[in-house]
Every structure is written in structure tokens, then in C-alpha cells.
Structure 1
Amino acid sequence: MIDRYSPKEIADIFSDQSRFATWLEVEILATEAWATLGVVPAEHAKAVRIQAPSIDASFVREVNEREQVTNHDVAAFVDVVQSKIGFPWGSWIHYGLTSSDVVDTSLCLMMTRALDVVIIASEQLLETLVDRSFLYFRTPMLGRTHGMAAEPTTFGNKLALWALQVNRDLARLRSAREVIAVGKLSGAVGTYSNVDPFVESYVCNRLGLRNVPATQVIARDRHAQVLYSLTALASSIETFATEIRHLQRTEVQEAEEYFSQGQKGSSAMPHKRNPILAERLVGMSRIMRGYLVSALEDVALWHERDISHSSVERVVVPDAFSLALYMTKKFDGLISHLVVYPEKMLENIDRTLGLVFSQPILLALVASGLSRDEAYVIVQRCAHKAWDSKIPFAQVLAEDPEVSLSEADLVSAMDLQVALKNVRKTFDCLLLELDLTDEKRKELTSKLDS
């Protein structure tokens, strides 16, 4: 991943130094497991840990240089580690193992650690969305379907729905963590032909992983599930960012990204304040879906394994985590500083001339005794006349001889507060789903009751 979009937390987890350090820990733990079984002399296992090399830039260079000879990264790594530890102790490194025992277990561990980072960031995003949704709980705005005016909603309701979606994303991320927090040290085809099953249990237990049956490799449906959870999160962010882009349009102008002092929206047009971050996030989601397709392609391997997945994962796994974390943190900042214009939201409702209340009028006419189709034809005719003539909908209805509703009926049917009387339901559902402290739950509930 290019530095521009590469958060340090993820870059550090998947760096060469971190990868080799994880490989080394697997190798050392395996040697200690063999010592527990009495296969490796205890003093040799102790010497392996004490004399294990420091994994620094110099070590990485040595492994890379050795790989030019071996044309095999794990073999090069083992050669360098053994030479650093010395004979006879270093000879026990990689005893009974195959490359994937080390590589797959390490990759799963690194992916688990990376998921922990993304989960923490997603929890922060969820908290931000919840707080902002309750802030705008009663802020009316125009609901739109097909890009057209529909019925009133509230900006808080929109954000609460986003919070519910991120909460589902979090559930997917946590489930993926459970699926990927595994390891295997079962040999060349997964039959423990040259390694005692105890070694696998010992190593995985100390790494905080669950040992699972495997071929030579851990099944790649697990990795694909992780990539799906990250891509689902990215798609959610894309959904929200797309909405913000629409709300920031000149003719809508209901909300916009914060525009900082000294910022420039265009090199040519000084008046411009563009939704550049929202647009960036939308673009990144497209990349994430490509990574997911690659991960799904990796699921089907030949027999007990082939290596076609390896080159793919070296790119898509760290890059997907980098983008997922970048997007989550950036969108959290976007929402935290989003500039909202409640008065413009009301103005856009008013611009519909009352057409957003066509359904309550329809229902009132049905309740008065008309068939639904009769009522629909009348309301549709009046709505089209109001819009085409730029006359308030209520006036057109009042003047139509087929509308058998009193002035009081019209006022009640076109009452904004009546239209929004049940919007609290979304927030009640949100409170039920969230894992909140009693104090936080009380604070949010009080905002609904005020």
C-alpha cells in the first residue's frame, strides 16, 4: 500500500520485520514443545530462545539476500536463523515442520492482530454515529427515494440507521476474528506424519490461537471471510459517504464536509468546497471489492495445497486492512466535524409545497369512504397540479370539489410533527442492540425523553 493510505498500526503488523519476528516465535515455540516431549534436549531449546537473532533491518536484508540463492523465502529464513543461533542448537529450528506450518499460523496471528485494530476503530466510529444521531434526533429533513422527494424523516434517524449498520459490521468483524484466530502445525499434508500433535497445541495455545485440522494450509475460506468483513465495512462507509456527497450538492446544501482554514477546493475555482474526502472513500471501497474477489479466488486450491494464493495474499491482505482502517478513521473524523444545516433541511421540505404529505391525504380520503384507487387518482391529480403550477398542495386540495376533507383534516394530515411521531422507534431499537454502560444508556434515553 502506498504511504498516503497506509496507517502505521497496520503497516507495522505486516512489515517484513514483524512477519519474520512472528515466524521466529512460531519456530522457537515449536522447539520448546519438542523439548517438553523430550525430543529436543532442554538445554538446546533454552539456547534457541536465548540466542535467537534480533529481527531488525539487517536481519531482513540477510534473509532477502539468502532468498536470491534458495528461491524460497522460508528456507532462506530458516538458514539465516540457524546460522545466527549456531550449531548444534539451531539445527532444531523447523524440526518436523513444513513452511505453511509457520507461514499460515503466523499470517492468521497477524490478521487477528490487525482485526483487533480495525475493530477498535469501528467501535469508535459507532460511538460517534450514535452521539451524532441523538444530537439530531428531532431535526426534520426531506426523505428521498430514487433521488426524489418522498416523505419527511430526521437527520438523526438517518444517522441512527448508519449506526445500526456499523454495529452489524462490527458483528461481522468479530465473527471473522473468531474464524481466523487459528493455527496449524500438522506437516506437509496435515496428517502429523513428522510432527507430534502436541507441538501444534502447544504453539497455538501460547499464541492465543485455536489449532484446527488442515491440509498443508489453513483453508482459505477463513481468509475470504475476513476480507468480506472488511469489504462490508468499506461498503457501509461508501454508502454513508455517497449520501453526504448528495447532501452537499449546491442545490441541496443540507450538510457538508468541514472546510478548514487555508484549504483550497479547486486550483482554478476559488469558490469551490468539494466533498473530497467522501469521494475518496467511495473510490477506496471499489478497491476493497476487488480485494474480496481475489480472496474468494484463493479458496480453491489444488489437492492439499498449491501456492497460487500466496502472491495474492501478500498484496491484498495488508492492503485491505490498511484501507479498511484508513477509511474507518477518516469517516469517523468526517462525521465528527460534519457541518449540518437544519434550516436548509426545513427549507427543502417546504420547497415540495406540501407534496411530502400525499400519503396521509390519501389515507384520510380512504378513511372518509372512498376506494383506494378513487382516492389515489384525486390525490395524484392535485399533487401534479400543485407542482406544475407552484401552488401549495393544501390550497389545491381545499379547492378541489372531490376532496371531502375539512380544513382541520388537512392541517392534521399535513402536520410535520405527526409525520415524525414514531421516529423514536429506530432509536429504541438502536439502544436495544448496543452494548452500553448504564450511565451511557441513561444519558441517551434522556435525550429521547426531553
Structure 2
Amino acid sequence: MSKTPHTLPSGRVALSQQTPPIALGPLDGRYRPQAGILVDYLSEASLNRERVHVEVEWFIHLCEQRALPGLEPLSQEQKDGLRAIVTDFDVQSVAELAEIEAVTVHDVKAVEYYIGRRLPELGLEHLKALVHFACTSEDINNLSYALSVKDAVEDAWLPAARKLVSAISDMAQDAKTTPMLSRTHGQPATPTTLGKELAVFAHRLNRQLNRIAKTEYLGKINGATGTFAAHVAAAPDTDWPAISQSFVEGLGLDWNPLTTQIESHDWQAELYSDIARFNRILHNLCTDVWSYISIGYFQQIPVEGATGSSTMPHKVNPIRFENAEANAEISCSLLDTLGATLVTSRWQRDLTDSSSQRNIGVAFGHSMLAISNVIKGLERLDVAENLLAEDLDQNWEVLGEAVQTAMRAEAIAGREGMDNPYERLKDLTRGHRVDGERMREFIGELGLSEAAEQRLKGLTPGQYTGLAEQLVDRYAN
């Protein structure tokens, strides 16, 4: 007995046949609220909308520039009508394009025919041959991707990333005077403040945002092998490089004057490297915060009604930061692959870039998901100041650095009896617990100047934070 089309061999219902469709990937399913905005920029539908946009603007530009004999600038009504093809692009447009592509078996050619269908109502049927004039598919695709990625970065990814960095900076300001025991190599070390440690991440992430904000989004429109050969064959007296440059720059992109059939994608590799580096710094923040949670420096504020652990009711697992780690790693793996793949193309071109670029949205989506989770995770943290203070009070030996350095300064100033400062502090502190009383007693035995002795005797681990507060004020924003 044969199975129905809606049943799997196991007898279970085929979920792939359900309406509405069930998402295969988490970005279109579970995590749609966090990443869904990217559909407006990096989906197949949005790419086609950008293709229509580029084709329409090229059509208008050729007329405006009188690039061919007999061409005249269009009326404002005609230009508005052409641009309405882009602004009115919707789900019905997507469906119509799909129907055309089912016949053409070529996505860019389908766009050309889609626009051509709309010319008669604008009184432009006689210029139907001007749609996609002298263009190879990559003239349209490279500009469409550049516009899509640029808008996705500027309208979606950067605002989310800046919101995150602002949240970290605010936390750094709030905790800039909260002393905390540092750990170098996992061992108790010179104290810092919690705010200064957070400020380091804000500063690192901001550097990447500044690089990303200065990205060059390159584009080209120069024909099948980058030589303007077809253009010159049709209109040898036209300054085609000038028209190409003014068109690309008019789209808000940077003109690439020298390419093969494809724009070389170097700018994409540069951008993806910067975003991946941002992801990795964010990953480092997650591992540090996770570790601080594990030793109790941060306490997580429970969400009312939420389950912290499926079996241990006392726990609140740091799931936001663990989720962010995983998604940052997935994003980086895709961005790394894109950056490595896109800069290489056989001779004039091959199609590896076409397949690879379809995953740009996925790479961005996992990064945005990581950012969203960290923002939410940081919002649910409380600083356990009492525990931080207790930890500092149990580690007076960290003042050994301050004492031996002051002894060095005294020796340089000519004070006698300051020999072997490092070794003397090592004998006092290594392998031994030193409390405040013993540390002050030791300082009193050293023969320091009165000013230095009083300064060091008045020092506690919680006060030994140097310029941490000032560093946050100066550099964390």
C-alpha cells in the first residue's frame, strides 16, 4: 500500500508539506523575532527588489546622460513611474518574478522581462531594448548585493551592535568605582574595577564598529569582461567609464574602475573580517561574564515564571551568554568562509560566488542573534559587591606588587636598605596567605620614607585600583 504525499515512510505526517511552511533553519523559525529584520535586506526577495532598482536606475541614467543617439531625458512622470516599480515591489511581485524565472531559468533575465512588462503603461515600450542595456548579469548582481549589504549593515546590524556597546559602556560607568580582584592566568592579581574591565570590551568593540562604519561598498558596471566592449560597439563616442562612475556613485556606492566580469568582492571580504572580529570580541565578553557568573561576581535576576534549570530549581543558567557564544561562532564560520571564497574566481568568473553570497543573510542573522542575546543577558545581571569586597579582603598578598615597586622607587631616589624588593616580597607572599595586619607590619619593617610608609600602610586591596576609574571616564565611550 503506497503512502500519501503527506506521509513519511515512517507513517508520520510530512511537516514539509504543511501550510504555512515550517522553517528549516532557526533564523526563520525560533529566532525570527531577533533576525527577521534582515529579510528586508538580505533575502532572495529583497535581492530581486534591488535588481529591479538597479535596472530601473540604469535605464533612467542612460536617458539622462543621452548615452545613445536618440535618447532624451525622461519626464518626471516617467521617472516616477519607473521608480514605483521598485517601491511597489511586494509579495505579488515576488510571485510574478518566480513565474517568469520558471520559464527563463535565469533570475536576472526574469527581472529584465518583469520590468519590460511595465513599460507600455508608462509610454516607454519603444525603449524596451534599453532595459539591461550592455549589461552582463554581474553588472546588476554586484550592485544589488552591494546595496543590500550596505543597507543591512547601516540600517540593521550597526544599530543593534551600537545598542549593545552602549549598554556595555553604561555598565562600565555604573561599576567604574567597584573594586574587583583581577585574575591573571586564573590566579589572584592586581585589583581593578569591574567597570574598567567592561570598558575594555566597549573600547575594543567600538574600534571594530568604527572600521565597519567606514566600509567601502564597491560596485562596477562595465560589461561581460570589464572592458565596455559592447558599450563601445553600440556608441563609440560615449565616455562609458564616466557614465559608469557617475551611475555607481549615484547609487551611493564606491566605483571600482577595473574588474573582470565580476566585481572582485575584496570589499566584502574586508567587511566580513571586521564583523567576524566583532563577533569574536563579543564571544570573549560572553566567556568572561559567564566565568564571573560562575564565581558569583554577577547574580542573574530571575525572570518571573521562567525555569532556570529543568531539574535543579536553585539554578539560573547563563543561557543568554551561552546562546550568544554559539551564534557568534556560527556567524564567524560563515563570514570566514565567505571572505576566503569570494576573493577567488577562476579567470573571468565562476559561479562559486553566486552560491556563497546567498548565505550572507544567514551569517548576519547569527551575529544579530548573538548581539540580541547579550543585550538581554546584560539586562538581567546584578553585581554582587559584597562578594567582590570579600574576595579582595582575602587576598592582601596582591599588594606585594605595590610595596616592591615603591621600594624600587625609594632605591632610585637614593634611600638605603631597599635591596632585593621583589625577592623580599616573594618570601612574604608566595604560598602564604597574608592579612592586612601582617602586610602593614611588614611595611613598617622596611625602613621606607615616612610618606611612602604611610601611603602603603593606608592601602587596601580594594583601594589598589590605580587609574581604573579615570580610564573608564576617558576611553570607554
Q: TM-score range by the shorter chain?
A: 0.7 to 0.9
Determine which of 183, 186, 211 is the counterpart of 1:147. Answer: 186
The whole-number CA distance in structure 2 between the counterparts of 1:192 and 1:257 is 62
Question: Do the aligned partners of 1:385 and 1:396 also contact (CA within 8 Å) in 2?
Answer: no
Q: Give the aligned partner of residue 113 of structure 1.
A: 151
What is the CA deviation profile of residues 71-103 of structure 1, one whole-angstrom value per residue up to 9, with x for unaligned ones? 322123323433454554433211111101111
Look up the match of 2:313: 270
CA distance 1:199–1:401, change in 2 (3 Å): closer
In structure 2, relative to structure 1, the CA distance for the partners of 1:423 and 1:51 (3 Å cut) is closer
> d(CA) in 2 for partners of 1:168 and 1:50?
38
In terms of fraction of residues, the more helix-rich structure is 1
Partner of 1:444: none
Given that 2:191 and 2:462 are in contact with CA atoms closer than 8 Å, whether structure 1 keeps it comes out as no
1:219 to 249, 264, 268: 264
Deviates more, 1:392-401 or 1:77-86: 392-401
3-state SS, counterpart of residue 386 of structure 1: coil
1:424 partner amino acid = E
Q: Once the two structures are superposed, what CA deviation does each residue of 1:205-231 show, in whole Å capped at 9, x if it has no partner? A: 432223221322222211011111211
Is contact 2:175-2:193 (8 Å) kept? yes
CA distance in 1, matches of 2:437, 2:244: 75
Q: State the distance in 1 between where 2:325 and 2:301 align.
A: 18
The 5 Å alignment of 1:70-89 reads: 70-85=104-119, 87-89=125-127
Alignment of 1:115-194 (within 5 A): 115-116=153-154, 117-176=156-215, 179-180=216-217, 182-194=218-230
Cα distance in 1 for partners of 2:418, 2:453 equals 22
Deviation of 1:344 after TM superposition, in Å, equals: 1.2
- Check whether the contact 1:142–1:345 (CA below 8 A) recurs between aligned residues: yes
The CA deviation string for residues 239-270 of structure 1, in whole angstroms up to 9 with x for no partner, is 11111100101xx2011343211111211111
CA contact (8 A) 2:196 2:468 kept: yes
- 1:156-179 deviations in Å (ceiling 9; x for gaps): 111221221122021111122xx1
TM-score (norm 2): 0.79
Aligned match of 2:82: 49
| Deviation of the 1:393 alpha carbon | 6.5
- What is the rounded CA distance, in whole Å, between the counterparts of 2:397 and 2:104 in structure 1? 74
* Same amino acid, percent of matched pairs: 23
- Give the deviation of 1:370 after TM superposition: 5.8
Pair 257,112 (structure 1): closer, same or farther in 2 beyond 3 Å: farther
Aligned to 1:301: 345
Query: 1:357 aligns to what?
Result: 399
Q: Which stretch shows the higher mean deviation, 225-234 or 329-338? A: 329-338
Aligned to 1:330: 373
Write out aligned runs for 1:21-100 (5 A). 21-36=49-64, 37=66, 39=68, 41-42=71-72, 46=78, 49=82, 52=85, 54-85=88-119, 87-100=125-138
**In 2 relative to 1, CA 172–19 (structure 1 residues): closer, same or farther, beyond 3 Å?**
same
Deviation (angstroms), 1:311: 0.7
The one of 22, 26, 42 equivalent to 1:14 is 42
Give matches, 1:241-260, under 5 Å: 241-249=286-294, 252-260=295-303
Matched residue type, 1:104: N
Q: Describe the SS at the equivalent of 2:310.
A: coil
Of 356, 361, 366, 1:312 maps to: 356
CA deviation after TM superposition for structure 1 residue 155, in Å: 0.8
* Structure 1 match to 2:16: none
AA aligned to 1:332 is I
Relative to structure 2, which stretch is displaced further, 301-310 or 68-77? Answer: 68-77
Cα 1:306/1:376, change in 2 over 3 Å: same
How many Å separate the matches in 2 of 1:395 and 1:300? 66
Query: In structure 2, do the counterparts of structure 1 residues 194 and 400 end up closer, same or farther at CA, with 3 Å as the change threshold?
Result: closer
1:439 maps to none
Structure 1 vs Structure 2 CA RMSD:
3.0
Return 149-158 or 416-425, whichever deviates more: 416-425
Tell me the SS of whatever aligns to 1:248.
helix
The answer to whether the Cα contact below 8 Å between 2:272 and 2:336 also exists between their aligned partners in 1 is no
Q: Which structure 2 residue ranges, 5 or more long, are not aligned?
A: 1-24, 232-239
Alpha carbons of structure 1 residues 233 and 109: separation in structure 2 relative to 1, 3 Å: same
Q: Is the 8 A contact 2:191 2:461 kept in 1?
A: yes
Determine the structure 1 residue equivalent to 2:428.
382
Match of 1:341 among 363, 379, 384: 384
> Aligned to 2:387, what secondary structure does the other structure show?
helix
Gapped regions of structure 1 (runs ≥ 5): 435-450
With over 3 angstroms needed to count, the CA separation of the structure-2 counterparts of 1:27 and 1:199, relative to structure 1, is farther
SS of the residue aligned with 1:149?
A: strand
Letter in 1 for 2:402: P
In structure 2, relative to structure 1, the CA distance for the partners of 1:222 and 1:50 (3 Å cut) is: closer
Query: What's the offset of the Cα at 1:321?
Result: 1.9
The answer to whether the Cα contact below 8 Å between 1:96 and 1:194 also exists between their aligned partners in 2 is yes
Q: Is the 8 A contact 1:108 1:183 kept in 2?
A: yes
Deviates more, 1:72-81 or 1:287-296: 72-81
